Structure 1
Amino acid sequence: MRWLAFMLLVGTATPAVAQDHSGHAMPDAQPSAQTECEAEAARHRAMGHPVAEGACAPAAQPAEPVPADRTDGHSGMDHSGMDHSVMDHSAMDHGQMHGMDQSAMEDMDHSAMGHESMQSHEEASMDHRTKDHGTMDHGAMDMTPIPQGPPPASAGSGPPRAADAIWGAEAMRASRSALRKENGGMTVFWFQGDRAEYRVREGGDGYLWDVQGYYGGDLDKFWFKSEGEGTFGESPESAEIQAMWSHAIGPWWDLQAGVRQDLTGPRRTHAAIGVQGLAPYMFEVDAAAFLSTKGDLTARIEAELDQRVTQRLILQPRAELSLSAQDVPELGIGAGLDSIELGLRLRYEFAREFAPYVGIEQEWKLDQSADYARIAGEDPSVTNYVVGVRFWF
């Protein structure tokens, strides 16, 4: 509409252009209507909006005779070479523009000026802003691959003690000792109560503890373990303690060897050897074989897996298998697969070091072990509803 207003302005002001040109001194240049229209059209094109061809073409004006009194003294002048676009139109009477028919302007077809395209461009911009970028295929993006495999041979081609040549061997010896102590060579103490729980079961509620810890460095540690269970008001059914030397045999596994001492029943001492670590798919595994001073060979395998429901809520399935190479009647153990325990615990970590839990665990004694349990008046299948806490420091 701006360019149309300027067209009407130029058409209405045409008679005023023929006013007195005496002296023909031109004032400061002012932009003409067509020049401003073209500038406006250029701005629209820069924004990507289409502009109709010929939108800034000057409107045809009917020829109007010039009164004779206005041409006095100028009849011999050639006005065709004059640039009227720089004339000062400030003296023009714009009051007559107020009488323009606005209804005619309202009925004008603005689609020729590209306003529909402008609206569609804005809608396209809004659609891009609201587009769900989560559905974009980022796999097609050019990503630099992460190098795999060992470092190149040139990485270790320098002398092993290159810093000695700069700072001296004595200074670097102290620095290496501090670095070794702070990054891998320091000793650490760690203690964890993996299970400390109250057990609700038929025939009498009970308890269970299962704790372990170590003291040492990355490669070699002194590892200690203890576990046991019983019924309230009675002597513990089982209790033991282990003292093990542990040596790292890989990034995920430790080889352990030491002794196990039984604290209940016919007390026996066992030589123990086993492995402990993290199996594929994040299973924590503790497997050991025991040879008693009576020649009894037994084994135990424990595995558990932490499944995070949230960052603090963890569901932990757990399994334990006990095996024996022979019958041990005085301990109620039969040859083969002695017993199976399957449990499921749900814990909440108020802090990483403190996490109460609830759960359920089922125990079965099998084959000859089940017969020994029945002879002793015990149920070979027991269900335990557990409430406990897991902690470490």
Structure 2
Amino acid sequence: MKTGLNSLLLALSILPAGVALAQGAHTGHGTAPGNTPVTDHSQMQSMDHGSMQMQGGSAPANARDPHAYSGGLILEDGPYALPGPRQLRLADEHAFYGVLVDRLERVDNGEDQTLTYDTRAWFGHDYNRAVLKAEGDMEHGKLTEASTELLWSHALTTFWNSELGVRYDTGHGPDQGWLALGVSGLAPYWLELDATAYLGDDGQTALAVEGEYELLLTQRLVLQPRAELTAYGKDDAKRGQGQGLSELVAGARLRYEISRQFAPYVGWEWAAALGNSADLVREEGEATQETRWVAGVRLWF
């Protein structure tokens, strides 16, 4: 019994060496009888991997330029046009449209109630599109004042567009036509700005600047402060336009987005006539300042 145990211990003591020798002969690692070592781990650690040829390298001379579609080039024209029917269209080749009713609200100033609308629609591509803007007031079911603009919008930068077109006003005094030139876009800190200069009848000039900001209180509850400033180049008593700063409107609306396309809101607004325009308002026997409560809906599709 003791002799058998000694034999077993002797076999176990020599097993690792035999296994290592067998593994080395099978894999090429270690030393085989009559041969020199194939690979030494110490040599592998000292190898210079910088001299190895890695996958990749320089592109072939006839490779396509990855920026071929920048600078106004399209798939149907230019040195990279493909023969045969079109298989792919880029996003800036598609025409898009949209309608935004930014304000559709009932306005209560304590004495009268009016219905106010402010909407815009567009159709075109990423860089060029036609834009229609319309806003106005209605009292007792009749349109009392309206302003409509038809503009051509062109992308200047990623966040800014230029706008060129015409505007037509009705309601307060004789109707009036304008040429319009402006910019609109997104300023730093997500401030939306719209500034437009106008040239109207009889050499009248005007400037309108509008800004608004959306503060997300929750994912659905949004507070939207808004301000609008208007100025005219000269007096026009028939239309209630006074030279210099004419009108300032500021307020805030709190809306709840039932969906991204439909959001009812309530708000408060303060309006004031300034400068020579305030004098014209006093001559008509009206107040130069008023506070308004509004309730309405914002929607787009």
Normalising by structure 2, report the TM-score: 0.72
User: How many angstroms apart in 2 are the aligned matches of 1:386 and 1:209?
Assistant: 12
If you compute each CA radius of gyration, which structure gives the higher value, 1 or 2? 1
Could you tell me which amino acid in structure 2 is paired with residue 251 of structure 1? T
State the one-letter code of the partner of 1:382.
E
Instruction: Please list the CA deviations of residues 45-82 of structure 1 after superposition, one character each: whole Å capped at 9, or x if unmatched.
Output: xxxxxxxxxxxxxxxxxxxxxxxxxxxxxxxxxxxxxx
RMSD: 2.6
Distance 1:202 1:179, change over 3 A: same
Q: How does 1:160-199 map to 2 (within 5 A)?
A: 160=64, 169-171=82-84, 174-175=86-87, 178-180=88-90, 183-199=91-107
How far off its partner does 1:243 sit? 0.4
CA 1:218–1:337: 2 relative to 1, 3 Å = same
Q: Distance in 1 between matches of 2:162 and 2:254?
A: 30
Kindly provide the CA deviation profile for residues 163-207 of structure 1, in whole angstroms up to 9, marking residues without a partner as x: xxxxx9425x622xx322xx2210011000000100111221112
1:215 offset after TM fit, Å? 0.1
2:294 counterpart letter in structure 1: V
User: Shift of the alpha carbon at 1:315?
Assistant: 0.3
- Please give the alpha-carbon distance, in whole angstroms, between the structure 2 residues aligned to 1:378 and 1:340: 16
Q: After the TM superposition, which segments of 4 or more aligned residues of structure 1 sit over 2 Å from their partners?
A: 154-162, 230-235
Partner of 1:350: 258
Structure with bigger RCO (C-alpha 8 Å, 6+ apart): 2
Write the distance in 1 (CA, Å) between the matches of 2:247 and 2:61. 57
More strand by share: 2
1:296 match: 204
Residue type at the aligned position of 2:156? I
- SS of 1:281's partner is helix
Q: Distance in 2 between matches of 1:276 and 1:158?
A: 43
- Secondary structure at the counterpart of residue 184 of structure 1: helix
Q: Which amino acid aligns with 1:274?
A: G
- Greater helix share, structure number: 1
Give the structure 1 partner of residue 296 of structure 2: 388
CA deviation string 1:139-172 (max 9, x = no partner): xxxxxxxxxxxxxxx899864379xxxxx9425x
- String of CA shifts for 1:247-282, please: whole Å, max 9, x gaps: 000000110000001122311110001011111110
Length, aligned pairs only = 234
Task: Give 1:244's aligned residue.
Answer: 151
5+ residue gaps, structure 1, are 1-23, 26-153, 163-167
* Preserved CA contact (<8 Å) 1:204 1:232: no
The one-letter code matched in structure 2 to 1:334 is: G
% identical aligned pairs: 36
Distance of 1:344 and 1:308 partners within structure 2: 13
CA contact (8 A) 2:261 2:300 kept: yes
Structure 2 residue runs without a partner (length 5+): 3-57, 67-80
Normalised by the length of structure 1, the TM-score is 0.56
State the AA in 2 paired with 1:170.
Answer: P
